[in-house]
Structure formats: C-alpha cells, structure tokens
Amino acid sequence: MNARSIKFIAAALVVGTIATACSSEAEPDEIVLLTHDSFALSPGVLNAFTVETGVSVVHITGGDAGTMINQAVLTKDNPIADVIFGVDNTFISRAVANNLFVPYLASAIETVSEDQRLEEDWATPITFGDVCVNFHISGLEDRAVSPPGSLQSLVQPEYRDLLVVQDPATSSPGLAFLAATVSAYPEGSNYDWRDYWVDLFANGVSVASDWTEAYASQFSQSGGDRPLVVSYASSPPVEVLFGELTEAPTGVMTDGCFRQIEYAGIVKGTDHEETAGKLVDFLLSKAVQEDIPLNMFVYPTNRTADLPDVFVRFTAFPDSPLIMDPDVIDDNRERWIEEWTAIARS
C-alpha cells in the first residue's frame, strides 16, 4: 500500500467519523432502554415519550438486577442499550467503577430528596423502597405471639422457626437485609452482625434462594409454614390490591428496614446521548413517576408525584430506615456474603 492510498483511507476515516458524529446529534428513530425483569409501566406510558420526542423506546429486559449489570458491564465496549434503569444502591458503585455511565442528572432532580442522590452525579434516583420484615397477622395469632418489634426480638425464643430470609448471594432483598443487620450491629462492637446471625440461625431462621421462594412458598400468608418473611414495606398494599381485600393480611416491622434506591443512567458509549438524557428526564417526570407505585410497588423519588390511595394507606413508612453508603456496600459485599455463607453452613 503506498503513502497516497494510506492518506486517502485516513481522510475517508476522518470524514466518516465526522459524519457519524454529526448524525448522532440528530434525533434517532429509536432508543434502547435496558431494565431488570421487574420493570413495568401501564400500557401507553412509554408511548408518551414517543409522542413528545418522535423517538420510540425499545425496551429490553436483562433478568434480575445483578444479571442486568453483568450484561451492561460485558457489553460496555459496544453497548446494547442507551439508558439503563434499575441499578440499585447495592450495585451502583460497581456500575460506576466499571465506567458504565455518562454523568447525568434528570432536569427535575430538585424534586428528589437530597439524601437519595449519589455523591457524584452519575445517575438519577427513580424509585425507592424499604426492605423490611413482614408478618402474617393471622399466622402470628394462631401461634399466640405478637408481631416482632425489632431486629433484636427475632432472636428471641418466641420467634423460633418463624422467619424466612433470602440468600444474600442470590437475592437482592436478601442482600439488603444482610446490610441492614450489618448497619444495626456494626463491626467492632461487642456484638456484631456475625454474632447476630449466629443467634438467628440458632433460632431456626430458614433461607430461601430468592424472594419468590421465600414469599410465595414459605410465607404462611401464601400457604407456607413461616409467618415472618423478609419482603418490602410495600408488600401489604399488593396483598390488598390483588387479593381484593379491604384490610391488609400482613404487616411490616418498621425497625431494621433497609432503603433500596434504584437509579437510571445514560450508558457510556451511546450514540444518542442527548435523547438518552431526555429519556432519563422522562423517567423522573410525573407521567412515569405516578405510574410507578401500582406497577413496581415502590415509591417514586419525585416528591411532587401524587401517590395512589391504596398505596399510601397500606404501605409502612419506616421512620429511620437504614441507609448505607453505596461505596461501603460495594467494598464489602463479597466479604459479607462469604462470611454470612460460612455462618449459614456451619
């Protein structure tokens, strides 16, 4: 190959790159949104974005939150999506460390409570919810015990063999509950979370592989044999809504709750950064935020969004949920899970 043809190819490449760069400024036909499996909005809600911008939203799902982040990390050199929703505060540091996001905050970010935002502006909080111990009211009545009041009460003999939790290695509420115990019984104190779990196992706690197995199979409200389960503060309104009931059959222990916050961010390497930003704005808009509670059963982060009555009435709102710095979670997750597993197996 002679010098002239090399120059020609180089010039062609430059022109080509400029052309692609320019075309990315133009509005694309579609934009790809990657979420976990639990993402759901009423029919037509995403369509409002298309009406507004002329861009259609292609929605792809990537399994549970952990699997989805793996997918995003594995494809970061050639992203499969422009926007990711559903990375929570137990995983967000990992996502940031892997350089997944372009820093961006939705235009309506001032509607979001300050303590839910990240220290740096990598992603926008979209939903939050509390992972708490739920109790089955009549299940406890049958056993003539009162609802537990605190994490500490769960290791008391009266709650022996009553609680089912999830494996933190395979379940996000399981990890959240483990983090709650780490936060409540910090390392360095006389009685730390490891001592707590030794006592909890001695008191007959059962471990399910995921939320579904714990709630749908082992929880006594669903026909299982355990009246206490790690679930969400918003599980009772779901029972009411889908059970067509007027009173909740379950209640929430408001001590020892862990706050999960889910973020949306622009994927680094997208060709449509500007439109991706508009989609993140849209996810924080009232149209989406007000649709979130009865589809995903978590709170919208936009404080100006109106909440449905059934949701407000039956959802417990813990006074002081445990909030943990995402970096601390990310630095320790693996060690916590390994130590927890060792305790569980012994």
Partner 1 sequence: MDSNRSLVAERRSSKAGRAALVAVPALFLGYFFLYPLVSITIRGLTVDGNIDVGVIGDVLLDPTLQGIAWFTLWQAVVSTVLTVAFALPAAWIFARFEFRGKRVLRAATLVPFVLPTLVVGTAFLALAGPRGITGVDLTGTLWIILIAHVFYNYAIVVRGVSAYWERIDPALEDAAKALGASSTTVFRTVTLPLLRPAIASTSALVFLFAFTSFGVVLLLGDLTYTTIEVEIWRQATAFLRLDVASTLAVLQILGVGVILIAYGRFQRRTTVTFRHDVSRPPKPSTRRERSAVRAVVASMIIILGVPIAALVWMSFVEPGGGLGFGNYSSLGSLPSQSAAFVDPIEAIWNSLRFATAASVIALVIGVIASAALSYTSRRVSSGLEVFVMLPLGTSAVTIGFGFLVALDWPIDLRSSLILIPIAHALVAIPFVVRSTVPTLGSVRRQLREAAAALGASPWRAWWTVEFRLIGRAILVGAAFAFAISMGEFGATAFIARPAAPTVPIAIFKLLGRPGATPFGAAVALSVILMAITAAAILIIDSVRPEQRGEL
Helix, strand, coil shares of the chain, percent, nearest 5, are: 45, 20, 35
Short-list 127, 77, 141, CA closest to 261: 127
64 binds partner 1 (CB under 8 A): yes
Amino acid at 288: V
341 binds partner 1 (CB under 8 A): yes
User: What x-and-dash track marks residues 140-169 binding partner 1 by CB under 8 A?
Assistant: ---------------------------xxx
Half-sphere exposure of 2 (CA within 13 A, CB side): 1
CA distance 16 to 76: 22
Pull the structure tokens for residue 175.
Answer: 């990890």
* Number of amino acids touching partner 1 (CB under 8 A): 64
Nearer to partner 1, 5 or 78 (CB): 78
CA distance 270 to 34: 13
Half-sphere exposure of 149 (CA within 13 A, CB side): 1
48 binds partner 1 (CB under 8 A): no
Least distance to partner 1, CB of residue 321, Å = 19
24 binds partner 1 (CB under 8 A): no
Which residue of 59, 103, 247, 304 would you call a contact of partner 1, by CB under 8 A? Answer: 59
Least distance to partner 1, CB of residue 209, Å = 5
290 binds partner 1 (CB under 8 A): no
Q: Which of residues 189-248 bind partner 1 (CB under 8 A)?
A: 207, 209, 211-213, 215-217, 221-225, 231, 235, 238-239, 241-244
Residue 143 burial by Cβ neighbours in a 10 Å radius (0-12, 13-18, 19+): middle
CA distance 265 to 84: 6
Least distance to partner 1, CB of residue 332, Å = 12
CA quadruple 250, 255, 261, 262: dihedral sign: negative
30 binds partner 1 (CB under 8 A): no
Enumerate residues 6+ apart whose C-beta is below 8 A from 44: none
Nearer to partner 1, 71 or 153 (CB): 71
Which residue of 69, 162, 178, 284 would you call a contact of partner 1, by CB under 8 A? Answer: 69
* Residue 160 φ/ψ, nearest 5 degrees: -60, 135
Q: Which stretch binds partner 1 (CB under 8 A): 39-47, 106-114, 279-287, 300-308?
A: 39-47
332 binds partner 1 (CB under 8 A): no
Least distance to partner 1, CB of residue 324, Å = 17
Is residue 232 a contact partner of residue 88, using CB atoms and an 8 Å limit?
no
Which residue of 66, 139, 173, 256 would you call a contact of partner 1, by CB under 8 A? Answer: 66
Q: Which of residues 166-185 bind partner 1 (CB under 8 A)?
A: 167-170
Q: Which stretch binds partner 1 (CB under 8 A): 118-126, 177-185, 303-311, 333-341?
A: 333-341
107 binds partner 1 (CB under 8 A): no
CA distance 130 to 150: 15
Which residue of 28, 31, 41, 93 would you call a contact of partner 1, by CB under 8 A? Answer: 41
Per-residue DSSP letters for 18-53? HHHHHHHHSPPSEEEEEE-TT----TTHHHHHHHHH
Cα angle 295-33-233, degrees, rounded to a multiple of 5 = 30
- Contact residues for partner 1 (CB under 8 A)? 32, 34, 37-38, 40-43, 58-64, 66-71, 73-75, 78, 80-81, 94, 167-170, 207, 209, 211-213, 215-217, 221-225, 231, 235, 238-239, 241-244, 250, 294-297, 333-334, 337, 341, 344-345
